[in-house]
A and B are shown apart, each in its own frame.
Chain A
């Protein structure tokens, strides 16, 4: 089990709802992933349109917990207003907080992120901030009241896996009381297993599943990888060694110390 702001979940995967080939495949992939939390965004509804309502019906059929995001926000003000709209729309205090600082890398704006997290937490929100692997920013987010922190593995949609392993390990060591979720940049099931093996509480996936040739099969593969990674972490991984160490017993080896 993993807990986010006092709510328990059996799955350690959060999944996005964007970029799937069709709404039906999105639903099947989410079910195959076993994820109990899905991320959604907020966008303008077209006049007379039913686009948002149709999408919302699909999500409600899945019977999952919704984590709305502030994707696309580039200022503290935009992020806060979007969070307030999300609270009104979904009747939830949860918000995946994104304050983007650079359009090319979609790198979070750490200054704006911390400021927005402080304001939202004081206003009763339960904030899931999307951040880089920077330790100081993570510490400030914890001070701001965040009990979940979501550093990237690599830029959003890049499928590169964990780039800065040492920094992510350091976050895990220094923030034992915070639920840590690797949020972006995972491309393969092995990347997800990697994050769980480092002791991360969960991963958040979207593009790697939605853009796979078979999103439903890939969702299942990620589900298995997340489970394997967590079990591996709990089982206690041996540390790396600089030199070889034989696994087959040496004692009793034929011809050992044979006199020539």
Chain B
């Protein structure tokens, strides 16, 4: 299924957020996630189903002023 992952059209196999993290090698990183501009709490990742066309943002801490 085709989704938009961090701004790039990406083909994925995963059907939920937790599976997506494993598939794209994000497991064990310090990230927060928004799907279609809604934040998904960590506890809900395994039960958050993904649909074709979803816009997924995987966000991490970075330098800032």
Chain A residues within CB distance 8 Å of chain B: 16-20, 26, 39-53, 55-56, 59, 68-69, 71, 77, 81, 84-90, 156, 204, 206-207
Contacts of A20 in B (CB 8 A): 63
A interface footprint on B1-41 (CB within 8 Å = 1, 0 otherwise)? 00001110000000000000000111001111010011101
Across the interface, do B32 and A42 meet the contact criterion of CB distance under 8 Å? Answer: yes
Indicate if the CB atoms of B61 and A44 lie closer than 8 Å.
no
Contact B60 A51 (CB under 8 A): yes
Q: Which residues of B contact A (CB under 8 A)?
A: 5-7, 24-26, 29-32, 34, 37-39, 41-42, 57-65
Are A18 and B59 in contact, CB atoms less than 8 angstroms apart? no
Residues of A within 8 A of B31 (CB): 45, 52, 89
* Given A48-B25, A81-B34, residue A42 in contact with residue B63 (CB < 8 A): no
A49 to chain B: which residues have CB within 8 Å?
Answer: 29
Whether A59 contacts B34 by the Cβ 8 Å rule is no
Complex Cα gap A45–B25 (Å) = 11
Query: What is the minimal beta-carbon distance from A108 to any residue of chain B, in angstroms?
Result: 14
**Quick one: given A41-B62, A41-B64, A44-B59, are A52 and B39 in contact (CB under 8 Å)?**
no
Asked if residues B65 and A45 are in contact (CB atoms below 8 Å), the reply is no
Can you pick out 16 interface pairs between chain A and chain B where the beta carbons lie within 8 Å of each other?
A: A18-B64, A18-B65, A42-B64, A44-B7, A44-B59, A45-B26, A47-B25, A47-B26, A48-B24, A48-B26, A52-B60, A56-B30, A85-B57, A88-B39, A89-B59, A207-B65
Once the chains are docked, how many angstroms separate the CA of A142 from the CA of B34?
30
A141 to B32, CA, bound (A): 28
Chain B residue at smallest Cβ distance from A81:
B37
Q: Which residue of A has the minimal Cβ distance to B29?
A: A53
Interface core residue of B25, B29, B34, B60 (most chain A CB under 10 Å): B60
